[in-house]
């Protein structure tokens, strides 16, 4: 080796060494006393967690000496004293109309303190309420964001949160909320009704590109706005010659919505120049009808459709706020009035979702689409830092309006691997986790020495196998019923879920208002299945041919793969052959959306505890495809019942409507109704105050959770 090569080799090695060392060294300024104190606390905590920590103890001693030195030198007294004085002003409970108030967190000095660490499976995609659309984000968001109302932990009824009380007009379209005047954002600003108006409008604003626009779409004025906007988009494509973007189903959808735009409604919502807009809408409607006909013949026909520039111009200035200014009103700082275009019974319940949380206007506007990285809300915990794919760190919000939560720090650690996560739990590096690997469940249950407790609860969820009722041979209800009778649901529940859950008779899970105990579902009955097939014209079931059963799976070990095998076996027993097909979720959901799959597995978990969230989304004909009606089921009678259920204000009157609709659905069997699943929450025995609800472990409220330090020592 020559001299120069030695140098090159050495420098490469040294460089590699430096990169690894460089990432570990931190040079930091530590002159002010608060910082030192924080570090001291951190060091002490570390001394607790790491047993072999002689060096850390030394460091703690050094830090203590440093602090003493600095305070002698006359540094500023720590500001934490003032802060705790502010906490001491406990906030009184405010009674609310209609239901029990949110109970303030009682003073329990002995429960204070500690760090609560949870294991989560992925880095949360978003911490912006407008973009939270998955359970992991929702779980973190729950600690930081709150809205007008929330679910109570007993029966998931509504209880006030930031709203003190509310009134609903008799026709169910106007909601007037009285807000508390003592709720602060994490940045110190008081929450006013204007913030709510801003937050709700933000969901609707096209620029926000929120995934959850549907929460607010019944607000007066939004529907015509959305219809005109969509029509403008399609017309522009035609005018500019971008024919490949014009799609038949989108045109049809836009057309239906445009038909609902009436001059009276435009006048009611206070849109500027309602007459002109209504005329433009009528013209656009006529044009869209021509476009639809042209598309049906083939896109080449589109070139023959002239789109007048005047028409586009009349639709040019569509501003969201012009349309919804009468729908979302804040008459004064503590009053919020929401007007809906028509009665929408689940609206109050929807307001308890995370997406309807309040965000401060100035912060949201400052950060734009980066608000997710700097979230500010009103919840019991405030955002500290987000070390992407490592952890999200929150700390107790001292000015929380119900009193400071017990736990000082809340940490969500990202541990993608199931086994690794369970391992971290076992050695005591996290306090709780939600998803227990199925194959580990029994081992944990059987092990008396396992360092953790499993809480379980049946959640509002329904697992099912869907038929595409527009595809042969599943357009025949008799065959669908036969498949229902041929499926051994209990085997599936036992094999896949280790018996955790209950068998489904219909769509609605027990615990949901409207659940029908008397509903007769389909039990396993091989003879009946064969009879039904005979009635359907298949005395020899093998004439059905090979049927494809689709599922999504990531590995051969996936529970869905096991489900598929059981189904295949069950159908073989009645003489039907199936071919198992699997893909990844992304492709799968798209195939299901388009109705390409005849027989597929799926599950639905409640967004909000209302029968509407199940039946309307899963079976209303307007929800076909992307909307959630993957069976492409359509029955005018069911549509009418579900529509009526949405528009009926009296909760008691709604129940029979939904039960009747469900009965028809079960009879026509667009699904094989499988089971309602239990979900587990695994936590350490020193974690106290956990309340599991039917909304699942992701919806556990962390403000009253505390850590029993006496039990921690003896772990």
Q: Which of residues 173-212 bind another protein (CB under 8 A)?
A: 206-207, 209-211
Instruction: Calculate the CA 498 to chain-centre distance.
Output: 26
Token pair of 512 as six digits = 């949901």
Backbone angles phi, psi at 69, to 5 degrees: -60, -45
Q: By CB under 8 A, what part of segment 260-289 binds another protein?
A: none
Name which of 185, 138, 196, 139 is nearest 163 in CA terms.
196
The nearest distance, CB 323 to another protein, in angstroms, is: 15
The nearest distance, CB 250 to another protein, in angstroms, is: 6
> Rounded to whole angstroms, how far apart are CA atoms 71 and 304?
84
The nearest distance, CB 25 to another protein, in angstroms, is: 6
DSSP label at residue 340: B
Q: Does 470 bind another protein (CB under 8 A)?
A: no
DSSP of 117-164? EEEESS--S---TTT--SHHHHHHHHHH---SEEE-TTT--EEESSEE
Q: By CB under 8 A, what part of segment 126-165 binds another protein?
A: 126, 131, 133-134
Token pair of 243 as six digits = 């024919």
Q: Does 23 bind another protein (CB under 8 A)?
A: yes
Q: By CB under 8 A, what part of segment 404-423 binds another protein?
A: 413-417, 419-421, 423
Q: How many CA atoms lie within 13 A of 107 on its CB side?
A: 6
Token pair 């830092």 is at which residue? 385
Q: Does 57 bind another protein (CB under 8 A)?
A: no
Residue closer to another protein, measured from CB, 561 or 617:
617
Under DSSP, is residue 394 helix (H, G, I), strand (E, B) or coil?
A: strand
Token pair 């490592």 is at which residue? 390
Residue closer to another protein, measured from CB, 42 or 579:
42
Q: Does 389 bind another protein (CB under 8 A)?
A: yes
DSSP of 556-569? TT-HHHHHHHHHHH
Residue closer to another protein, measured from CB, 253 or 668:
253
Q: By CB under 8 A, what part of segment 73-132 binds another protein?
A: 115, 122-123, 125-126, 131
> Rounded to whole angstroms, how far apart are CA atoms 502 and 673?
11
List CB contacts of 251: < 8 A, sequence separation 6 or more: 234, 288, 291, 292, 295
> Rounded to whole angstroms, how far apart are CA atoms 538 and 410?
60
The nearest distance, CB 178 to another protein, in angstroms, is: 31
Q: Does 34 bind another protein (CB under 8 A)?
A: no
Cβ(548)–Cβ(510) below 8 Å: no
The nearest distance, CB 77 to another protein, in angstroms, is: 18
The nearest distance, CB 14 to another protein, in angstroms, is: 11
- The region of 343-351, 558-566, 617-625, 689-697 touching another protein under the rule CB under 8 A is 617-625
Q: Does 586 bind another protein (CB under 8 A)?
A: yes
Q: Does 556 bind another protein (CB under 8 A)?
A: no
CA angle at residue 668 from 663 to 670, to 5 degrees? Answer: 110
Q: Does 292 bind another protein (CB under 8 A)?
A: no
Q: Does 555 bind another protein (CB under 8 A)?
A: no
Q: Does 213 bind another protein (CB under 8 A)?
A: yes
Cβ(254)–Cβ(287) below 8 Å: no
Token pair of 553 as six digits = 């799976």
Torsional sign, CA 370, 371, 374, 375: negative
Q: Does 366 bind another protein (CB under 8 A)?
A: no
Q: Does 437 bind another protein (CB under 8 A)?
A: no
The nearest distance, CB 392 to another protein, in angstroms, is: 12
Token pair 């699904």 is at which residue? 671
Q: Does 628 bind another protein (CB under 8 A)?
A: yes
Give Cα separations from 640 to 633, 636, 659 (angstroms): 14, 6, 13
> Rounded to whole angstroms, how far apart are CA atoms 148 and 409?
25
The nearest distance, CB 324 to another protein, in angstroms, is: 16
> Rounded to whole angstroms, how far apart are CA atoms 640 and 619?
11
**Tally of residues, the chain:** 715
If you compute the radius of gyration of the chain from its CA atoms, what whole number of angstroms results? 29
The nearest distance, CB 477 to another protein, in angstroms, is: 24
Token pair 């735009």 is at which residue? 261
Q: Does 55 bind another protein (CB under 8 A)?
A: yes
Interface with another protein (CB under 8 A), residue from 108, 319, 342, 388: 388
Interface with another protein (CB under 8 A), residue from 4, 82, 555, 710: 4
The nearest distance, CB 114 to another protein, in angstroms, is: 13
Q: Does 439 bind another protein (CB under 8 A)?
A: no
Interface with another protein (CB under 8 A), residue from 318, 589, 649, 655: 589
> Rounded to whole angstroms, how far apart are CA atoms 456 and 352?
23
Residue closer to another protein, measured from CB, 82 or 370:
370
Interface with another protein (CB under 8 A), residue from 155, 249, 308, 439: 249
The nearest distance, CB 585 to another protein, in angstroms, is: 8
The nearest distance, CB 587 to another protein, in angstroms, is: 5
Q: Does 308 bind another protein (CB under 8 A)?
A: no
Q: Does 710 bind another protein (CB under 8 A)?
A: no
Q: Does 256 bind another protein (CB under 8 A)?
A: no
């Amino acid at each position: 080796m020559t001299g120069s090569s030695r140098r090159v080799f050495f420098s490469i090695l040294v460089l590699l060494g430096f990169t690894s060392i460089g990432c570990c060294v931190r040079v930091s300024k530590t002159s002010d006393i608060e910082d030192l104190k924080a570090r001291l606390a951190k060091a002490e905590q570390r001394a607790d967690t790491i047993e072999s920590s002689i060096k850390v103890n030394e460091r703690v001693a050094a830090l203590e000496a440093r602090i003493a030195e600095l305070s002698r030198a006359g540094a500023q007294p720590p500001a934490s004293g003032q802060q705790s004085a502010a906490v001491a002003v406990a906030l009184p409970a405010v009674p609310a109309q209609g239901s029990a108030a949110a109970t303030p967190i009682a003073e329990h000095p002995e429960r204070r303190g500690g760090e609560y660490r949870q294991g989560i499976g992925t880095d949360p995609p978003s911490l912006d309420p407008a973009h939270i659309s998955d359970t992991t984000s929702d779980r973190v968001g729950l600690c930081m964001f709150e809205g007008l109302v929330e679910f109570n932990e007993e029966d998931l009824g509504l209880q006030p949160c930031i709203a003190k009380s509310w009134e609903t007009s008799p026709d169910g379209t106007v909601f007037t909320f009285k807000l508390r005047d003592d709720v602060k954002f994490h940045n110190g600003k008081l929450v006013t009704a204007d913030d709510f108006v801003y937050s709700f409008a933000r969901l609707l604003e096209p620029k926000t590109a929120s995934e959850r626009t549907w929460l607010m779409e019944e607000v007066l004025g939004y529907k015509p706005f959305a219809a005109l906007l969509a029509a403008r988009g399609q017309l522009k494509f035609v005018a500019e010659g971008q024919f490949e973007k014009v799609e038949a189903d989108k045109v049809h959808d836009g057309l239906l919505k445009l038909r609902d735009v009436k001059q009276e409604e435009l006048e009611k919502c206070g849109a500027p120049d309602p007459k002109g807009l209504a005329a433009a809408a009528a013209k656009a409607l006529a044009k869209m009808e021509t476009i639809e006909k042209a598309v049906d013949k083939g896109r080449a026909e589109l070139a023959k459709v002239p789109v007048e520039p005047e028409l586009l111009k009349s639709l040019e200035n569509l501003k969201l706020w012009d349309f919804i200014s009468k729908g979302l009103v804040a008459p004064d700082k503590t009053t919020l009035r929401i007007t809906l275009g028509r009665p929408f019974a689940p609206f109050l319940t929807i307001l308890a979702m995370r997406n309807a949380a309040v965000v401060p206007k100035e912060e949201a506007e400052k950060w734009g689409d980066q608000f997710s990285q700097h979230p500010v809300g009103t919840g019991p915990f405030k955002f500290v830092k987000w070390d992407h794919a490592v952890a999200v760190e929150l700390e107790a919000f001292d000015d929380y309006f119900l009193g400071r939560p017990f736990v000082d720090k809340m940490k969500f650690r990202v541990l993608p691997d199931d086994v690794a996560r369970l391992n971290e739990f076992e050695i005591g590096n996290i306090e709780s986790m939600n998803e227990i690997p199925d194959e580990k469940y029994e081992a944990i249950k059987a092990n008396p020495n396992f360092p953790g407790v499993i809480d379980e609860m049946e959640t509002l969820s329904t697992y099912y196998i869907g038929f595409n009722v527009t595809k042969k041979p599943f357009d025949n209800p008799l065959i669908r019923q036969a498949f229902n009778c041929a499926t051994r649901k209990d085997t599936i529940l036992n094999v896949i879920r280790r018996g955790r859950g209950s068998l489904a008779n219909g769509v609605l899970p027990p615990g949901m208002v409207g659940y029908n105990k008397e509903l007769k579902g389909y039990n396993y009955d091989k003879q009946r299945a064969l009879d039904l097939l005979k009635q359907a014209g298949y005395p020899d079931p093998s004439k059905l041919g090979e049927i494809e059963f689709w599922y999504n799976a990531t590995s051969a070990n996936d529970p869905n793969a096991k489900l598929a095998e059981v189904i295949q076996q069950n159908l073989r027993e009645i003489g039907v052959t199936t071919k198992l097909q699997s893909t990844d979720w992304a492709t799968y959901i798209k195939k299901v959306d388009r109705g390409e799959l005849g027989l597929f597995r799926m599950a639905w978990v409640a967004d909000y505890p209302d029968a509407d969230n199940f039946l309307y989304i899963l079976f209303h004909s307007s929800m076909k495809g992307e909307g959630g009606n993957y069976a492409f089921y359509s029955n005018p009678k069911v549509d009418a019942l579900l529509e009526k259920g949405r528009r009926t204000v009296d909760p008691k009157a709604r129940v029979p409507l939904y039960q009747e609709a469900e009965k028809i659905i079960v009879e026509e069997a667009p699904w094989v109704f499988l089971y309602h699943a239990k979900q587990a929450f695994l936590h350490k025995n020193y974690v106290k105050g956990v309340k599991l609800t039917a909304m699942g472990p992701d919806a556990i409220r962390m403000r009253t959770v505390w850590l029993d330090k006496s039990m921690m020592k003896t772990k």
